[in-house]
Amino acid sequence: MTSIYIPVSQADLTQRRASKRRQRRIKACQAIWRALIVSSLAGGLVWETTQPSWVIRYSEQIDIEGNQLLSDTAIRELLPLKYPQSLLRLQPQVIAAYLESQPPIAEATVNRQLLPPRLTIEVKERQPVALAQLVETSNNTPSHSGAVALLDAQGVWIPIDSYKALKHPLHLPTLKVIGFTAQNRPYWPSVYQAVSRSAVKVFEINFQDPLNLVFKTQLGSVHLGAYSSRLPKQLSVLDRLRELPAHINVAQIAYIDLKNPASPSIQMKAADSTLKKDSNQAHN
């Protein structure tokens, strides 16, 4: 193939060099303008956020949602905030974690609103399910040993004075728990779930003897032995004993022994009077 050579004049070369220099200057100017615009926007944002319109000055600028027990004021008083407070300096996750560390609060979500400046806090409260008398057994047990407090379904200890400022009157649970310790907490959710589903009303749960869990029920005292996964089965057998009052004076029953649910027995108060029934006989 034959190559074709086209001569380039000195004037063309000069023109091309000048064009490239203009393009480089244009690009440099564009870069400078972009930097100036970004700096101006950033500076404007910083200026805006330091203005009074971006500040939480009063607790009334904090909206509380989801609370059924505690009043809005009570939850606002729990917040680790001092006023005035720059809205964008607030750390929502830190505030939420602090609220969740308070016994009455199970979950918290914190959101900021810039215009108008407000803080919205949504909470999920712990629901008390039992009155508990606490026993001190270790450093992990609440310090108010022997005091009466509240328990939720997960076994979280809630001081009664946590509910000073309420939206509605607090109806104390009817279920009582005696001898609750830190050692009982891991299996408390299972115990409470079984009790709440029981057809026989349970008024009191006594943990004082670790080898014998005792329930006070509408049929009298029930001895269950050490806690085990058999508890639902034991309560099922108790359900089949609901007809006892039609056959026996419940006032004469010392306790119902369900340590072995396959062979329940009834200990009478009168001396040498023990009546044994299996679950099928009691049902009939």
Residues of the chain with pLDDT under 70: 1-20, 28, 31, 35-53, 136-146, 270-284
pLDDT value of residue 140: 46
Residue 215, classified by CB atoms within 10 Å of its CB into exposed (0-12), middle (13-18) or buried (19+), is buried
Tokens 């009191």 label which residue? 204
Cα-Cα-Cα-Cα dihedral sign, residues 245, 248, 249, 252: negative
The Cα–Cα gap between 74 and 166 comes to 8
Scanning 1-106, the segments in alpha helix (DSSP H) are 10-49, 72-78, 92-100
Phi/psi-derived region of residue 272, left when phi > 0, alpha when psi is between -120 and 50, beta in every other case: left
pLDDT value of residue 87: 87
Name residues whose C-beta falls within 8 Å of residue 49's C-beta, 6 or more positions apart in sequence: 86, 87, 88
- Domains in the chain: ranges and CATH: 53-125 (3.10.20.310), 130-283 (3.40.50.11690)
Give per-residue pLDDT as tens, 53-75: 688 898 999 999 999 999 999 99
| AA letter at 120 | T
Whether the Cβ atoms of residue 126 and residue 139 lie closer than 8 Å to each other: no
Query: Residue 221: which H helix or E strand, with range?
Result: strand 220-223
The pTM assigned to this predicted structure is 0.70
pLDDT value of residue 275: 46
How many other CB atoms sit within 10 Å of the CB of residue 99?
21
The Cα–Cα gap between 58 and 150 comes to 32
Give per-residue pLDDT as tens, 177-198: 999 988 999 999 999 999 999 9
Whether the Cβ atoms of residue 81 and residue 113 lie closer than 8 Å to each other: no
Residue 215: phi, psi to the nearest 5? -110, 140
- CB pairs under 8 A, 24+ apart, for 221-230? 221/253, 221/254, 221/255, 221/256, 222/255, 222/256, 222/258, 223/255, 223/256, 223/257, 223/258, 223/259, 224/258, 224/259, 225/258, 225/259, 227/187, 227/191, 229/190, 230/261
